[in-house]
Protein backbone atom coordinates (compact mmCIF):
# COMPACT_ATOMS: atom_id res chain seq x y z
CA UNK A 1 0.00 0.00 0.00
CA UNK A 2 1.23 3.48 -0.89
CA UNK A 3 2.53 5.71 1.92
CA UNK A 4 0.45 8.84 2.41
CA UNK A 5 0.68 10.95 5.57
CA UNK A 6 -1.29 13.84 7.06
CA UNK A 7 0.56 16.34 9.22
CA UNK A 8 -1.34 18.74 11.44
CA UNK A 9 -0.01 22.30 11.66
CA UNK A 10 -1.18 24.91 14.16
CA UNK A 11 -1.16 28.63 13.43
CA UNK A 12 -2.98 31.79 14.45
CA UNK A 13 -5.67 31.35 11.81
CA UNK A 14 -6.43 27.82 12.95
CA UNK A 15 -5.24 24.35 12.05
CA UNK A 16 -4.16 23.15 8.64
CA UNK A 17 -3.44 19.64 7.39
CA UNK A 18 -0.56 18.93 5.03
CA UNK A 19 -0.78 15.83 2.87
CA UNK A 20 2.47 14.28 1.68
CA UNK A 21 3.28 11.01 -0.06
CA UNK A 22 6.20 8.73 -0.84
CA UNK A 23 7.06 8.87 -4.54
CA UNK A 24 6.86 5.28 -5.86
CA UNK A 25 9.68 5.96 -8.36
CA UNK A 26 12.26 7.80 -6.24
CA UNK A 27 11.16 6.77 -2.77
CA UNK A 28 11.38 10.41 -1.65
CA UNK A 29 8.78 12.20 0.43
CA UNK A 30 6.82 14.77 -1.63
CA UNK A 31 4.31 17.45 -0.85
CA UNK A 32 0.77 17.04 -2.25
CA UNK A 33 -1.72 19.60 -0.88
CA UNK A 34 -2.72 21.52 2.25
CA UNK A 35 -6.28 21.53 3.58
CA UNK A 36 -8.09 23.51 6.29
CA UNK A 37 -10.27 20.62 7.45
CA UNK A 38 -9.08 17.20 8.55
CA UNK A 39 -12.10 15.48 7.01
CA UNK A 40 -11.29 16.81 3.55
CA UNK A 41 -7.57 16.04 4.01
CA UNK A 42 -8.44 12.46 4.98
CA UNK A 43 -10.67 12.03 1.93
CA UNK A 44 -7.99 13.42 -0.41
CA UNK A 45 -5.38 11.19 1.25
CA UNK A 46 -7.52 8.13 0.58
CA UNK A 47 -8.00 9.13 -3.06
CA UNK A 48 -4.27 9.79 -3.42
CA UNK A 49 -3.43 6.42 -1.87
CA UNK A 50 -5.75 4.67 -4.31
CA UNK A 51 -4.13 6.52 -7.23
CA UNK A 52 -0.63 5.57 -6.10
CA UNK A 53 -1.64 1.91 -5.68
CA UNK A 54 -2.47 1.80 -9.39
CA UNK A 55 1.14 2.77 -10.17
CA UNK A 56 0.28 6.31 -11.24
CA UNK A 57 1.65 9.53 -9.74
CA UNK A 58 -0.30 12.73 -9.03
CA UNK A 59 0.40 15.63 -11.35
CA UNK A 60 1.07 18.65 -9.11
CA UNK A 61 1.20 20.95 -12.14
CA UNK A 62 -2.57 20.88 -12.24
CA UNK A 63 -2.50 23.09 -9.16
CA UNK A 64 -2.95 26.80 -9.68
CA UNK A 65 0.12 28.49 -8.26
CA UNK A 66 0.04 31.49 -5.96
CA UNK A 67 2.15 34.31 -7.37
CA UNK A 68 4.36 34.79 -4.32
CA UNK A 69 7.89 36.12 -4.48
CA UNK A 70 10.82 34.99 -2.35
CA UNK A 71 10.33 37.82 0.17
CA UNK A 72 6.63 37.07 0.70
CA UNK A 73 7.36 33.41 1.40
CA UNK A 74 10.18 34.48 3.72
CA UNK A 75 7.76 36.58 5.78
CA UNK A 76 5.52 33.55 6.20
CA UNK A 77 8.53 31.44 7.15
CA UNK A 78 9.68 33.93 9.79
CA UNK A 79 6.20 33.86 11.35
CA UNK A 80 6.40 30.07 11.54
CA UNK A 81 9.82 30.32 13.19
CA UNK A 82 8.40 32.81 15.70
CA UNK A 83 5.62 30.33 16.55
CA UNK A 84 8.16 27.54 17.00
CA UNK A 85 10.21 29.85 19.21
CA UNK A 86 7.18 30.62 21.40
CA UNK A 87 6.58 26.87 21.72
CA UNK A 88 10.27 26.46 22.65
CA UNK A 89 10.84 24.12 19.70
CA UNK A 90 13.86 26.20 18.65
CA UNK A 91 16.23 28.48 20.57
CA UNK A 92 16.24 32.25 20.07
CA UNK A 93 19.88 32.13 18.98
CA UNK A 94 18.99 29.56 16.31
CA UNK A 95 16.18 31.71 14.97
CA UNK A 96 18.35 34.85 15.00
CA UNK A 97 21.00 33.05 12.94
CA UNK A 98 18.39 31.75 10.47
CA UNK A 99 17.01 35.28 10.04
CA UNK A 100 20.49 36.65 9.30
CA UNK A 101 21.06 34.08 6.52
CA UNK A 102 17.52 34.61 5.24
CA UNK A 103 18.02 38.38 5.01
CA UNK A 104 21.05 37.88 2.78
CA UNK A 105 19.04 35.65 0.43
CA UNK A 106 16.21 38.19 0.46
CA UNK A 107 18.62 40.86 -0.69
CA UNK A 108 19.54 38.67 -3.67
CA UNK A 109 16.25 36.94 -4.53
CA UNK A 110 13.57 38.90 -2.62
CA UNK A 111 11.70 40.33 -5.62
CA UNK A 112 11.86 37.15 -7.70
CA UNK A 113 8.81 34.89 -7.98
CA UNK A 114 9.66 31.76 -6.05
CA UNK A 115 8.53 29.52 -8.90
CA UNK A 116 11.02 31.22 -11.28
CA UNK A 117 14.14 30.41 -9.25
CA UNK A 118 15.99 27.46 -10.77
CA UNK A 119 18.38 24.84 -9.46
CA UNK A 120 21.19 26.31 -11.55
CA UNK A 121 20.72 29.76 -10.00
CA UNK A 122 21.02 28.26 -6.52
CA UNK A 123 24.16 26.38 -7.58
CA UNK A 124 25.67 29.56 -9.05
CA UNK A 125 24.96 31.46 -5.84
CA UNK A 126 26.49 28.67 -3.79
CA UNK A 127 29.60 28.67 -5.96
CA UNK A 128 30.17 32.37 -5.23
CA UNK A 129 29.67 31.90 -1.49
CA UNK A 130 32.03 28.92 -1.44
CA UNK A 131 34.72 30.92 -3.22
CA UNK A 132 34.24 33.99 -1.04
CA UNK A 133 33.75 32.26 2.32
CA UNK A 134 33.68 28.50 2.85
CA UNK A 135 31.76 25.25 2.41
CA UNK A 136 30.27 25.77 5.85
CA UNK A 137 28.70 29.08 4.82
CA UNK A 138 27.44 27.56 1.57
CA UNK A 139 25.74 24.74 3.43
CA UNK A 140 24.03 27.19 5.78
CA UNK A 141 22.61 29.14 2.85
CA UNK A 142 21.47 25.90 1.22
CA UNK A 143 19.62 24.88 4.37
CA UNK A 144 17.75 28.22 4.32
CA UNK A 145 16.93 27.75 0.63
CA UNK A 146 15.41 24.37 1.47
CA UNK A 147 13.35 25.87 4.30
CA UNK A 148 12.02 28.63 2.03
CA UNK A 149 11.02 26.21 -0.73
CA UNK A 150 9.42 23.85 1.77
CA UNK A 151 7.34 26.78 2.96
CA UNK A 152 6.65 27.70 -0.67
CA UNK A 153 5.26 24.21 -1.32
CA UNK A 154 2.87 24.57 1.58
CA UNK A 155 1.78 28.00 0.32
CA UNK A 156 1.31 26.62 -3.20
CA UNK A 157 3.93 29.06 -4.53
CA UNK A 158 5.93 26.33 -6.29
CA UNK A 159 5.21 22.87 -7.67
CA UNK A 160 8.60 21.43 -6.77
CA UNK A 161 11.71 22.25 -4.76
CA UNK A 162 14.69 23.12 -7.02
CA UNK A 163 17.05 22.81 -4.04
CA UNK A 164 15.92 19.27 -3.23
CA UNK A 165 18.47 17.63 -5.53
CA UNK A 166 21.39 19.76 -4.25
CA UNK A 167 23.52 18.00 -1.66
CA UNK A 168 25.54 19.73 1.02
CA UNK A 169 29.25 20.23 0.38
CA UNK A 170 31.77 18.29 2.40
CA UNK A 171 32.97 20.31 5.37
CA UNK A 172 35.54 17.72 6.40
CA UNK A 173 37.67 18.30 3.32
CA UNK A 174 37.66 22.05 3.82
CA UNK A 175 38.40 22.27 7.53
CA UNK A 176 40.47 25.35 8.26
CA UNK A 177 43.70 24.84 10.18
CA UNK A 178 44.95 28.39 9.75
CA UNK A 179 46.57 29.65 12.94
CA UNK A 180 48.86 32.43 14.13
CA UNK A 181 52.22 32.11 15.81
CA UNK A 182 52.78 34.10 19.03
CA UNK A 183 54.49 37.03 17.30
CA UNK A 184 51.50 37.35 14.93
CA UNK A 185 49.09 37.47 17.86
CA UNK A 186 51.23 40.27 19.28
CA UNK A 187 50.92 42.10 15.95
CA UNK A 188 47.14 41.87 16.19
CA UNK A 189 47.18 43.36 19.69
CA UNK A 190 49.44 46.19 18.55
CA UNK A 191 47.09 46.88 15.64
CA UNK A 192 44.13 47.36 18.00
CA UNK A 193 45.82 50.48 19.39
CA UNK A 194 45.15 52.21 16.07
CA UNK A 195 41.39 51.59 16.18
CA UNK A 196 38.39 52.78 18.15
CA UNK A 197 38.06 49.23 19.50
CA UNK A 198 41.37 49.50 21.40
CA UNK A 199 39.67 49.29 24.80
CA UNK A 200 37.76 46.02 24.37
CA UNK A 201 39.20 44.17 21.34
CA UNK A 202 42.48 43.08 23.02
CA UNK A 203 40.48 41.16 25.63
CA UNK A 204 38.42 39.52 22.89
CA UNK A 205 41.53 38.51 20.93
CA UNK A 206 43.23 37.09 24.03
CA UNK A 207 40.11 35.10 24.95
CA UNK A 208 40.23 33.53 21.49
CA UNK A 209 43.97 32.94 21.27
CA UNK A 210 44.73 32.05 24.90
CA UNK A 211 41.49 30.28 25.87
CA UNK A 212 40.13 29.06 22.55
CA UNK A 213 36.87 30.92 23.15
CA UNK A 214 34.45 31.09 20.22
CA UNK A 215 32.72 34.34 19.31
CA UNK A 216 29.48 33.04 20.82
CA UNK A 217 31.21 32.25 24.15
CA UNK A 218 32.81 35.68 24.24
CA UNK A 219 29.70 37.71 23.46
CA UNK A 220 27.73 35.66 26.01
CA UNK A 221 30.34 36.03 28.77
CA UNK A 222 29.18 37.77 31.98
CA UNK A 223 31.22 39.41 34.73
CA UNK A 224 29.64 37.03 37.26
CA UNK A 225 31.49 34.19 35.50
CA UNK A 226 34.90 35.78 36.14
CA UNK A 227 36.74 35.69 39.47
CA UNK A 228 39.80 37.91 39.14
CA UNK A 229 41.19 37.17 42.62
CA UNK A 230 41.12 33.37 42.82
CA UNK A 231 44.57 32.24 44.02
CA UNK A 232 46.05 35.40 42.61
CA UNK A 233 45.39 34.26 39.05
CA UNK A 234 41.64 34.31 38.55
CA UNK A 235 39.07 31.88 37.14
CA UNK A 236 36.84 32.20 34.11
CA UNK A 237 33.86 30.05 33.11
CA UNK A 238 32.93 29.81 29.43
CA UNK A 239 29.73 28.24 28.11
CA UNK A 240 29.36 27.01 24.54
CA UNK A 241 25.69 26.62 23.57
CA UNK A 242 26.70 24.73 20.40
CA UNK A 243 27.58 21.62 22.41
CA UNK A 244 26.09 22.77 25.73
CA UNK A 245 29.47 22.38 27.44
CA UNK A 246 30.79 24.56 30.23
CA UNK A 247 34.47 24.82 31.09
CA UNK A 248 36.22 26.65 33.91
CA UNK A 249 39.88 27.64 33.60
CA UNK A 250 42.53 29.78 35.24
CA UNK A 251 42.75 33.11 33.42
CA UNK A 252 45.91 33.59 31.39
CA UNK A 253 47.87 36.66 32.64
CA UNK A 254 47.49 38.78 29.50
CA UNK A 255 43.80 37.90 29.22
CA UNK A 256 43.26 38.84 32.87
CA UNK A 257 45.00 42.19 32.43
CA UNK A 258 43.06 43.01 29.25
CA UNK A 259 39.74 42.17 30.94
CA UNK A 260 40.61 44.32 33.96
CA UNK A 261 41.57 47.22 31.68
CA UNK A 262 38.24 46.93 29.86
CA UNK A 263 36.38 46.70 33.19
CA UNK A 264 38.09 49.85 34.46
CA UNK A 265 37.40 51.70 31.20
CA UNK A 266 33.70 50.83 31.39
CA UNK A 267 33.53 51.98 35.01
CA UNK A 268 35.27 55.26 34.23
CA UNK A 269 33.13 56.06 31.17
CA UNK A 270 29.91 55.28 33.04
CA UNK A 271 30.98 57.57 35.88
CA UNK A 272 31.94 60.29 33.41
CA UNK A 273 28.59 60.13 31.62
CA UNK A 274 26.63 59.57 34.84
CA UNK A 275 25.17 56.24 33.72
CA UNK A 276 23.84 54.50 36.83
CA UNK A 277 21.36 51.91 35.62
CA UNK A 278 23.08 49.09 33.74
CA UNK A 279 20.82 46.77 31.74
CA UNK A 280 22.88 43.57 31.81
CA UNK A 281 25.96 41.88 33.24
CA UNK A 282 27.55 41.15 29.86
CA UNK A 283 31.30 41.74 29.69
CA UNK A 284 31.29 43.07 26.15
CA UNK A 285 28.54 45.64 26.03
CA UNK A 286 27.75 49.28 25.41
CA UNK A 287 27.91 51.77 28.28
CA UNK A 288 24.25 51.17 29.19
CA UNK A 289 24.87 47.43 29.41
CA UNK A 290 23.18 46.46 26.15
CA UNK A 291 25.25 43.63 24.62
CA UNK A 292 27.57 44.08 21.65
CA UNK A 293 26.08 41.92 18.89
CA UNK A 294 29.19 41.74 16.73
CA UNK A 295 32.61 43.28 16.26
CA UNK A 296 33.22 42.28 12.64
CA UNK A 297 34.14 45.72 11.33
CA UNK A 298 36.73 46.29 14.07
CA UNK A 299 38.13 42.78 13.58
CA UNK A 300 38.65 43.11 9.83
CA UNK A 301 40.20 46.56 10.32
CA UNK A 302 42.73 45.16 12.80
CA UNK A 303 43.65 42.35 10.40
CA UNK A 304 44.22 44.92 7.66
CA UNK A 305 46.49 47.03 9.86
CA UNK A 306 48.45 43.96 11.00
CA UNK A 307 48.80 42.76 7.40
CA UNK A 308 47.28 39.35 8.17
CA UNK A 309 45.31 37.81 5.30
CA UNK A 310 42.89 34.87 5.02
CA UNK A 311 42.20 34.74 8.74
CA UNK A 312 38.79 34.38 10.38
CA UNK A 313 38.02 35.10 14.01
CA UNK A 314 37.17 31.41 14.54
CA UNK A 315 40.75 30.64 13.51
CA UNK A 316 41.82 31.95 16.92
CA UNK A 317 40.48 28.66 18.31
CA UNK A 318 42.88 26.88 15.95
CA UNK A 319 45.57 29.27 17.12
CA UNK A 320 44.92 28.25 20.73
CA UNK A 321 45.00 24.50 20.02
CA UNK A 322 47.98 24.66 17.68
CA UNK A 323 50.17 26.69 20.02
CA UNK A 324 49.04 24.57 22.96
CA UNK A 325 50.34 21.44 21.23
CA UNK A 326 53.49 23.18 19.96
CA UNK A 327 54.25 24.16 23.55
CA UNK A 328 54.19 20.52 24.63
CA UNK A 329 50.55 19.61 25.38
CA UNK A 330 49.00 16.38 24.08
CA UNK A 331 45.87 15.95 21.99
CA UNK A 332 43.87 14.89 25.06
CA UNK A 333 44.90 18.06 26.88
CA UNK A 334 43.87 20.16 23.89
CA UNK A 335 40.52 18.35 23.67
CA UNK A 336 39.67 19.13 27.30
CA UNK A 337 40.87 22.72 27.22
CA UNK A 338 39.16 23.66 23.94
CA UNK A 339 35.90 21.97 24.96
CA UNK A 340 35.63 19.40 22.17
CA UNK A 341 33.17 16.58 22.82
CA UNK A 342 35.06 14.05 20.71
CA UNK A 343 38.82 13.48 20.36
CA UNK A 344 38.21 13.09 16.60
CA UNK A 345 37.61 16.84 16.45
CA UNK A 346 41.07 17.41 17.92
CA UNK A 347 42.79 14.95 15.59
CA UNK A 348 43.26 17.68 12.98
CA UNK A 349 46.14 18.95 15.14
CA UNK A 350 47.89 15.57 15.31
CA UNK A 351 50.50 16.60 12.72
CA UNK A 352 51.69 19.33 15.07
CA UNK A 353 52.99 16.77 17.55
CA UNK A 354 55.86 16.16 15.11
CA UNK A 355 56.34 19.92 14.78
CA UNK A 356 56.62 20.06 18.56
CA UNK A 357 59.43 17.49 18.48
CA UNK A 358 61.20 19.50 15.79
CA UNK A 359 60.74 22.65 17.89
CA UNK A 360 62.38 20.94 20.87
CA UNK A 361 65.21 19.65 18.68
CA UNK A 362 65.88 23.18 17.42
CA UNK A 363 66.13 24.40 21.01
CA UNK A 364 68.54 21.54 21.76
CA UNK A 365 70.64 22.49 18.70
CA UNK A 366 70.81 26.09 19.92
CA UNK A 367 71.86 24.83 23.32
CA UNK A 368 74.76 22.83 21.86
CA UNK A 369 75.86 25.76 19.68
CA UNK A 370 75.92 28.11 22.66
CA UNK A 371 78.34 25.76 24.43
CA UNK A 372 80.91 25.83 21.61
CATH class given for the domain over 70-154:
mainly alpha
pTM confidence score: 0.54
Domain 195-366 matching CATH 1.10.443.10: the answer reads yes
Question: Helices (H) and strands (E) in the chain — how many of each?
Answer: 14, 6
List the domain boundaries for the chain: 4-58, 70-154, 195-366
Per-residue pLDDT of 190-202, as tens digits, reads 999 999 999 999 9
Is residue 1 within 8 Å of residue 23, measured between CB atoms? no
Across the chain, the runs of DSSP E, i.e. the strands, are: 4-11, 14-22, 29-35, 226-227, 235-240, 245-250
Output the CA–CA distances (angstroms, integers) from residue 201 to 64, 181, 282, 288, 294, in the order listed: 55, 19, 15, 18, 11
Would 70-154 and 195-366 be classified into the same CATH topology? Answer: no
CA distance 342 to 339: 9
pLDDT, tens only, 22-58: 887 777 888 888 888 888 888 888 888 888 887 777 7
What is the tens place of the pLDDT at every residue in 128-183?
Answer: 888 877 788 889 999 999 999 999 999 989 888 999 889 988 766 555 677 888 89
Q: Dump the DSSP string for 226-281.
A: EETTGGGT-EEEEEETTTTEEEEEEPPHHHHHHHHHHHHHHHHHHHHTT-------
Q: How far is CA 296 from the centre of its chain?
A: 14
Q: What is the pLDDT of residues 279-307, one digit of tens each?
A: 999 999 999 999 998 899 999 999 999 99
Amino acid sequence: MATVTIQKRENKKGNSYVVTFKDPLTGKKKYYKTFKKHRIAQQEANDLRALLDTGKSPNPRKKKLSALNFHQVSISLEKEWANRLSEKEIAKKTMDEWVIWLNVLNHKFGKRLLCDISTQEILNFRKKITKKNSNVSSNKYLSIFKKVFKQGLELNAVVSDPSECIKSLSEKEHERNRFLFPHEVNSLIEATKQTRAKFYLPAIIYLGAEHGAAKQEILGLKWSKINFDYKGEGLITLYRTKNKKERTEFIMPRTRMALLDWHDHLKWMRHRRKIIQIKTDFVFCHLDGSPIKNFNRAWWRVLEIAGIEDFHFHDLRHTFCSNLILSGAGLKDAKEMIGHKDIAMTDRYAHLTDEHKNYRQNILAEHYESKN
